[in-house]
Amino acid sequence: MGSVGTVTIGDFRLGGAVGEYPTAVLGTLFFSGQKLLVDGERGIFDEAAAKTQIIRCADATGRAGITLFLDVVAETPEAMERYLKFVIRETSLPFLIDSSSDAVRMAGLATAHKYSACNRAVYNSIGTDTGESELELIEENPPAAIVVSAVDPMNFGLESSLSIVRHIKEIVPVRLHDRLLLDIGFLDEASVKISAGIAQEIRRLSGLPVGGAPCNGMYMWDALKARGDAAFQMALAATVGYVGSFGLDFMFVGPLRNVERIAPAVGAVDVYNRYGLQSVDPARILTEHHPMRAMFRQ
């Protein structure tokens, strides 16, 4: 199994050989429509409800031995600062600074720097259209990791993704190349296998950790949703487990609440990947934080 560089984010690592480190699941918090969100413009939310949900999901991932990242999404700079202050104060978890707006992302990175939390911050994301001011801020206040949007929906495939990675390496300082995480993109649910295979190849060829959001298309799968929540959650767990078998290092799993239900599936596949690694590299030491340990505890 191919090995790639490792990226340290807070107390956790991504990368290495497939199966060496636990998969990171990225649960989204403060998205539009989430029940605990009161005012997305100002960043007002039910702090008690948010804390309870984080604790429950952290417990689920802890029992499975996998890694939890909080994908913090915001609409405005003001909201991003409020959310990050809460996450930094109340948790020790890695977090993503996530927004469709470059101004909001930049405000988030400034907040992480202000509160000395860049060591567990993941910038989400940069791409071929990222401007100079954003790149300059990243260089001045480097986060622990930087997600690269390595997908071209109009020219989807391995070569176009590799071309994006090469371009990003030209515009990002060399000293930050080992902090790059590649989001390879899942266009729809029907193409999950194709996308996962591309991710596997990009991981091998680039030497960088890879991931994506294999569950996004499921929310547009009306026939599946019509079968009820239990069926939907089973399909969700099957999807992340299946994609995990391709050796992805991180996966966006949708709303944070999903983490509780899919954690055992991700942990089980991590066990299979780790045992596969053990069979070809028996001298490799098992890390302390790993499903191979956690999933066999009563």
Q: Are 126 and 138 in contact (CB under 8 A)?
A: yes
Return the pLDDT at 34. Answer: 97
Return the pLDDT at 128. Answer: 96
All residues at 6 or more sequence positions from 295 whose CB lies less than 8 Å from its CB, including other chains: 64, 65, 264, 267, 268, 271
Q: What is the largest CA-CA distance in the chain?
A: 53
Give the whole-angstrom CA distance, residue 17 versus residue 290.
14
Separation in Å, CA 283 to CA 20, 200, 254, 279, 280: 12, 24, 36, 10, 9
Topology annotation, domain 3-294: TIM Barrel (3.20.20)
Return the pLDDT at 1. Answer: 52
Task: Look up residue 196 and give its amino acid.
Answer: A
pLDDT of the chain, 298 residues: tens digit per residue: 578 999 999 999 999 999 999 999 999 999 999 999 999 999 999 999 999 999 999 999 999 999 999 999 999 999 999 999 999 999 999 999 999 999 999 999 999 999 999 999 999 999 999 999 999 999 999 999 999 999 999 999 999 999 999 999 999 999 999 999 999 999 988 999 999 999 999 999 999 999 999 999 999 999 999 999 999 999 999 999 999 999 999 999 999 999 999 999 999 999 999 999 999 999 999 999 999 999 998 6
Return the pLDDT at 297. Answer: 83
Return the pLDDT at 2. Answer: 76
Return the pLDDT at 298. Answer: 63
